[in-house]
Structure 1
């Protein structure tokens, strides 16, 4: 047995043994790193473009423009994109990102980049993000059987988490020497590479199962409404992200107001969270035999518990440790949650279903963050973090109780059907 085979779990070795997935993953790692760098570059370029008295407003608009239009695109474009092949969705999103970000660089070089054009191009670049993500995970579902999708999801998800640990630091070094628009140009090149790699994938087509009148089965929202189990998945995920939203507002206030500390400590909190999320995501991808719903509930509860010390006047070292543990338990959540969708939805319906999921979850986090401001004013930063943790633990308990009741009500019916007795 080689050193590599001892260090890399069998689940990952088998996943990485698929050439098409290796090509896709390598391109995704590059685009994730580019996005991690853009976290710094987008805000810094907005700061360069804005008048001093409007800097905060433009930075907020730029950050929102790079994410929120994805939710609108998932809903408004469903009629036309629901049945587009998965690899074409990836190509379309990557091409749009590359084109829009590249246009920002060109306008900067020509001296024609204004704040309005900047926000418009950022918004346009994110319009197909939900569809690109849906296409990616649909491709994974077609590359692997159900019991091997979780490791593939974990590799994609942890590459994204790792990029948001490494990317901002790398962007900080680059921005010190070059204009932030150049960093966005690097991001554009990574998306161009992703489009090229996606176009090289050779996978069999999946034909849609038509309704009785020969038309497609519907948009993602309609498909979700026809599947109660998928509606439940979306609901739990959206509430979880909504309850997380106030953390992004309260944590900086907690560091500044309650700890009277500098931004360096805030960076330390997010760094330990990111490292924990990478480790947790990779570990979670090896649990291929685990029941995914129980793991998902445990993750939600664990994240909520990790927030409780912030509201109990715990020392800094303890809250840092808890935030790292929070990242560790959160790490498997994206991969497990997506695997539940991949295994529950019909293959032809999966892009539309995943795009609809993204539309709901993408909007949930900013809505939670918007609530974080008034909550922090009323409860204080520590109280807001404590409240978010308590509510998240409550969500885990409610989900577990609902599933337990559902299982108990279905068991007698299932048993009677096995005996050949249909319920009346």
Structure 2
């Protein structure tokens, strides 16, 4: 264990106190994946249940993009632990308000969606704060392992949380599960407050508008496209299981379970692939999901989808590590909040586009088109990255010969 890349993370004086709170909150958030939509089903009128469920699910994530865009001038200079703690406080407060209004018998669908939207307003900044805390506390050589721990906790919670939420809803109701989620965020907020040392003088706030540069802008664009192209899977996969494979919801659940299990394994393996560029992850993921679009039977497509989860897991930790090591500390929160906002918007947009696409060409062809588009994205990214690397090498060699860049 002492030779594992995770040992410096789990024994770090700050992270070892923060990680238990993050794990508790991740489990609560995993449970809310079921509770948010189920409570919307119970509150909505019969004629508009689908619309209110979609609104509730969107409200629990999309407003974070708005918060990431409009609150930069107020939050960009805050320490990472403070940003993450404020997000946890807001989540806990808004979810607790939902529970209290529900207990009073006054929770309408509109009020429910509004409170969910309030709860997610600082989510992008909370994620930025968590990774900024890593950059501020942990040596650079351990950033990737620390990022991987964060991602693996989320993936494990996505496996354990939904079944636990289903059991609790069966015994009680969805509001009780949201109360547990609120309590888990309260624990997280308290953890950040007590476990992280008070920061010294805040670093300079930096410019109001962060200049990303060509490389970071390209990475943001590639990430947006990757997540956008994955969005149709949320529409096409259930229909593929029902219509093309003529199977039940049980098989759909197995697909999501094997994907999550693969993601946990991939997250644990991430620190062993240091400085991995994004394009191999995209290409490997696209190849792994290709059997679904080719109509492979479950005996082939299920292991392939597990492999896709394994390939998916390293992407975010690797991207975070890249930004952490190449961005000045005073600019990191705003950059990571922008990155979080992009990922929050991309998947719902891709999901929305998946509906008309499935209607036009069918579920199986939608999966095939998405996989081929991701494969093309990965190959184009590889070609562009290789071209830029060769251009830099040509520029550096003459400069070194003139001793402008001494070794």
What's the TM-score, normalizing by structure 1?
Answer: 0.93
How far does residue 346 in structure 1 lie from its aligned partner after superposition?
0.6
Within-5 A mapping of 1:222-371? 222-223=209-210, 225-287=211-273, 290-293=274-277, 296-371=278-353
Q: 2:384 aligns with which of 402, 406, 421?
A: 402
- For 1:8-407, list aligned pairs within 5 A: 10-200=4-194, 201-202=196-197, 204-205=199-200, 207-209=202-204, 216-219=205-208, 222-223=209-210, 225-287=211-273, 290-293=274-277, 296-407=278-389
* 1:9 CA drift (Å): 5.1
User: What is the alpha-carbon distance in structure 2 between the residues aligned to residue 258 and residue 297 of structure 1?
Assistant: 31
Q: How far, CA to CA, are the matches of 1:206 and 1:138 in structure 2?
A: 16
1:19-76, Cα deviation, whole Å (9 max, x unpaired): 2101211111111111110011111111110111111111110000000000011001
CA distance in 2, matches of 1:351, 1:386: 37
Once residues 226 and 265 of structure 1 are traced to their aligned partners in structure 2, the CA distance between those partners, rounded to angstroms, is 43
- Relative to 1, partners in 2 of residues 1:334 and 1:9: Cα closer, same or farther, differing over 3 Å? farther
Contact 2:289 2:304 in 1 (8 A): yes
Change (3 A) 1:391 1:154: same
Q: State the shift of 1:306 in Å.
A: 1.4
For the Cα contact (< 8 Å) 2:79–2:133, is it kept in 1? no
Give the Cα separation in 1 of the matches to 2:320 and 2:302. Answer: 28
Preserved contact between residue 75 and residue 359 of structure 1 (Cα < 8 Å): yes
Q: Is the 8 A contact 2:9 2:145 kept in 1?
A: yes
Please report how far the alpha carbon of residue 330 of structure 1 lies from its aligned counterpart in structure 2 after TM superposition: 1.1
Instruction: Between 271-280 and 375-384, report the one with greater CA deviation.
Output: 375-384
Does the aligned pair in 2 maintain the 1:90–1:131 contact within 8 Å?
Answer: yes
Residues 205 and 395 of structure 1: CA distance in aligned 2, closer, same or farther (over 3 Å): farther
2:79–2:202 CA contact under 8 A, matched in 1: no
CA offset at residue 203 of structure 1?
Answer: 5.7
**Residue segments in structure 2 that go unaligned for 5+ positions in a row:** none
Residues 285-343 of structure 1: CA distance to partner in whole angstroms, max 9, x if unpaired? 233xx3321xx221111111112112222111111111001001111111111111111
Give aligned pairs, total: 404
Post-superposition shift, 1:207?
4.2
CA distance in 1, matches of 2:374, 2:389: 23
Flag the 1:183–1:344 CA change in 2: closer, same or farther, 3 A: same
Aligned-residue offset at 1:205: 3.9
1:258-294: CA deviation from partner (whole Å, max 9, x where unpaired): 112111111100000000000011011233xx3321x
Over residues 108-159 of structure 1, what are the superposed CA-to-partner deviations in whole Å (9 max), with x where a residue is unaligned? 1111111111111000000000000000000011111211110110011010
What secondary structure does 2:203 align onto? coil
Q: 1:212 is matched with which residue?
A: none
Q: Structure 1 stretches of 5 or more lacking a match?
A: 210-215
Q: Structure 1 segments of 4 or more deviating over 3 A?
A: 203-209
Farther off after superposition, 305-314 or 398-407: 305-314
RMSD: 1.5
Question: Compared with structure 1, are the counterparts of its residues 230 and 54 closer, same or farther at alpha carbon in structure 2 (3 Å cutoff)?
Answer: same
